Structure 1
């Protein structure tokens, strides 16, 4: 019987490997950038030997500067795509203030991205002060501009715009303040993302006049961009994908299927070359891909080769020890052994065995003046709700704080950051270096199903958490119970810690409210009843340290 079970297990494993094997239709070339050889090979079987480093498990909280030329107009995220949506808010704003996209496209916005007040040292120092344990910078977005001295993309921040090596300066600041440094890469999807730039107005005085998405290098004679090829930025010298005029179609085609126009080997290889270039120059500790599984997966081996190179390169940097973290979205159980699962603006509704990350933002991913004007930012209290819930489930929170084009945040964001920092200064011992407890929490939300939508997008439920929601974390010595809002009542009742509880059968000798001190309590069959002090010690969330 045992032999039969072993054979069955082997057959299932082989079947899984065969299912994950792929005859890639667009393999990349290593002519320019050779993948580093080492322990890891560009296969799922090899990459599943990855182990998440302890520093990432301990970190829990990172800050992301999701900042680039799309911040110029203040129209929010994806504005470089949406300015080509006739009649959209981004289009109307662009036409009114900058010009019609047949004459002034996104390429013409790049010179206005000057970063004239950007001080990376000051910013990273603040991020560390408020409790961040790692820092991420944007390497490139879907707009396809590289924010470093890129040798494979002429449209970069050294040649134009701020004329500064943004990644180099971010990295220098991160190293100075001893924060692990991450880079996010998004440009692989420029191929489809910029397809609206091939359109034209269907109505009005410029109906039928093509936008600037098909311009060539020869068209630049006498223009500011003379000598640069717009196709290096827009990558639109190809047919439109099926249904491309439907603005939402890109989401269905994100995983390179459902009628998408497949990218060329040259295009996939260019992204591969650029990514290896950045890895080799800036030695990131973390990499984030805004993709399903890996860049160009499953049509290309580009992502697998990048992953193998990154892990091997990191091991070489750390004398044979792997300290790297690579994050991607919509991963199955096997893929989560090779990469760290990222959930966008959301969280699973249970403890996840492997460490994972949620990426979120206090506003829009790129700076949006409408969110500022309408007070649409998350409060520090909302950020804490997300952070605590995520950490209780074995996750980390990567929080984006939008910067304006000049490299600064606004005064409303400053208040949020300071409030968050004040809370973290007192309560971070219940967050940093902790692990999940036997159950992640209790309360109406904790006890309900909160499914993930695609890559996430369920954080709204957790933002609404009240004082009825309690989350747990632990260290070797202490259990922490964190109430997700300050209760109006004079007592907090924790059912999971009732007398005789299976989760906590031992005695409780002492409970401290962080920032206050020892509090009195009673343990009954209904729950642990903690008496609250008369005065609140913060306006966000109380954290109780419980000792045996």
Structure 2
């Protein structure tokens, strides 16, 4: 009898301990700040974001914000400021589809067929680009679910493409060992629609799409917040993403209670599934998350210093435009490569957005840029993946504008700009821009009397270059040769191998 009682006690103890382990996080900041960013996120460095949905049918103007602006006859802009005339999207819509009262947003959904969508082709491209994680939009502010939602009928599995877009991408990505994430922008959907009697947004039969009429600039109602929470939980429990990315609506004070609930549930699901997860949030107007409780994301912006906690930039190939438009414009591949290096040198990751068209095709010009990034990473990736910041992030006259959308104002790097990373006993130094005719370069942080570098230099080489190069370590700099036969189109990556030894001996090669 005693043995049976002891057995029961042991079993109960195991159950209690298991439950306790699985319910580690509680919906309060004191508990959530105990979260630790997983190593995998600090290692991957480069991911692909995918903005895609019904707005690729008009493919015009404000892109993924088309559904917001198409109704604007001249009342408010995206920030709630009065507008003097109809928006460009309103004019385009009226001329090409009819006035919004005659052709509402939901009419785009059956036109969004995605008949050429091939998840395998997409993921193969992302792998070639060197991406280590992929994040398709689960649902944008319009609320059209690109997954098999159990909460809304407005979804890609029964309308438009009639495919589980997110599920298909996840399946292919996992075959390649990529981490998978999904994004939710739906919280800002509260501010999205214009309500006038003549618009379909007032049609009772479409209330489950547009929501109930309200003042778009008042705080989200409790009912709407609960609906957002239910949809987010559906995405989380069905798809179990490694990463969950939230747009700015998530940061608003109205979501505070359910924001904490969701984060706790997501982290606890990760514990239960033995899955290390990451949650991204934006810090725009409010500070929605206590430091350390999740991973900061800066939209189209970078930092001007090394951040102790890992962080991320989400940036679009199309600059201000995230969804596909017929006049989608991009920079050169070298600009995105330099952004990646700069971000990684400061302990960040780059989530670079692509914009497929309405047919489900990633246009060739976008593919070309991704392939060029991938070719560079194939040679220089060891200086990016799994690295950590060096003691200093770099040298030279150029630094980031540290704010939201700060990257839009970048003037580019100069031939005197350098960024550093480190992995164990190896330092990587990237010259961000080549200068024609230059035959040598000085790395200011790598002199043998500098306190920055505590170890001696064993060898210096250029990644992707088979020949030996000359180098000399002086008191306050490392001077390296740039071979005249070096053929590199983008940033030049130097590999500096160290040995633990006194650094007060002049070393030459």
Aligned-partner Cα distance in 1 for 2:161–2:255: 35
Q: Superposition pairs for residues 29-44 of structure 1, below 5 Å?
A: 38-44=23-29
How far the C-alpha of 1:89 sits from its partner, in A, is 2.2
Which stretch has the larger CA shift, 457-466 or 386-395? 457-466
Aligned-partner Cα distance in 2 for 1:161–1:463: 41
Aligned-partner Cα distance in 2 for 1:88–1:469: 41
Q: Superposition pairs for residues 224-263 of structure 1, below 5 Å?
A: 230-238=206-214, 240-241=215-216, 260-263=217-220
Aligned-partner Cα distance in 1 for 2:372–2:324: 21
Return the match for 2:240 from 277, 283, 288.
Answer: 283
How far the C-alpha of 1:277 sits from its partner, in A, is 0.9
Structure 1 pair 278–299 and aligned structure 2 pair: CA distance change class (3 A)? closer
Partner of 1:395: 348
Aligned-partner Cα distance in 2 for 1:445–1:547: 26
SS of the residue corresponding to residue 406 of structure 1 reads: coil
Structure 1 pair 156–55 and aligned structure 2 pair: CA distance change class (3 A)? same
Q: Superposition pairs for residues 186-197 of structure 1, below 5 Å?
A: 186-194=185-193, 197=194
Return the match for 2:293 from 315, 338, 348.
Answer: 338
Contact 1:297–1:303 (Cα < 8 Å) also in 2: no
List runs of 5+ in structure 2 lacking aligned partners.
Answer: 1-20, 74-85, 499-509
Partner of 1:546: 496
Partner of 1:23: none
Contact 1:385–1:463 (Cα < 8 Å) also in 2: no
Runs of 4+ in 1 over 6 A off after TM superposition: none
Q: Superposition pairs for residues 447-486 of structure 1, below 5 Å?
A: 450-453=400-403, 456-460=404-408, 462=410, 464-486=412-434
| TM-score normalized with structure 1 length | 0.80
Partner of 1:528: 478
How far the C-alpha of 1:153 sits from its partner, in A, is 1.1
How far the C-alpha of 1:526 sits from its partner, in A, is 5.3
Partner of 1:55: 40
Corresponding position: 1:269 with 2:257: no
Contact 1:49–1:338 (Cα < 8 Å) also in 2: yes
Contact 2:46–2:133 (Cα < 8 Å) also in 1: yes
Return the match for 1:213 from 201, 204, 220.
Answer: 201
Corresponding position: 1:311 with 2:267: yes
Q: Superposition pairs for residues 510-521 of structure 1, below 5 Å?
A: 510-517=459-466, 518-521=468-471
Structure 1 pair 83–60 and aligned structure 2 pair: CA distance change class (3 A)? same
Q: Superposition pairs for residues 71-470 of structure 1, below 5 Å?
A: 71-75=56-60, 76-86=63-73, 87-194=86-193, 197-199=194-196, 210-217=198-205, 230-238=206-214, 240-241=215-216, 260-291=217-248, 294=250, 296-318=252-274, 323-330=276-283, 335-363=290-318, 364-371=321-328, 376-446=329-399, 450-453=400-403, 456-460=404-408, 462=410, 464-470=412-418
Partner of 1:205: none
How far the C-alpha of 1:336 sits from its partner, in A, is 2.7
Aligned-partner Cα distance in 1 for 2:162–2:248: 29
List runs of 5+ in structure 1 lacking aligned partners.
Answer: 1-35, 200-208, 218-229, 242-259
Contact 1:105–1:211 (Cα < 8 Å) also in 2: yes
Corresponding position: 1:494 with 2:443: yes
Which digits, 9 at most, give the CA deviation of each residue in 1:236-261, with x for residues without a partner? 422x24xxxxxxxxxxxxxxxxxx32
Contact 1:137–1:167 (Cα < 8 Å) also in 2: yes
Aligned-partner Cα distance in 2 for 1:527–1:445: 19
Partner of 1:12: none
| TM-score normalized with structure 2 length | 0.86
Which digits, 9 at most, give the CA deviation of each residue in 1:242-296, with x for residues without a partner? xxxxxxxxxxxxxxxxxx323222211111111111111111000000026x455
Aligned-partner Cα distance in 2 for 1:145–1:105: 14
Partner of 1:202: none
How far the C-alpha of 1:346 sits from its partner, in A, is 1.1
How far the C-alpha of 1:332 sits from its partner, in A, is 5.1
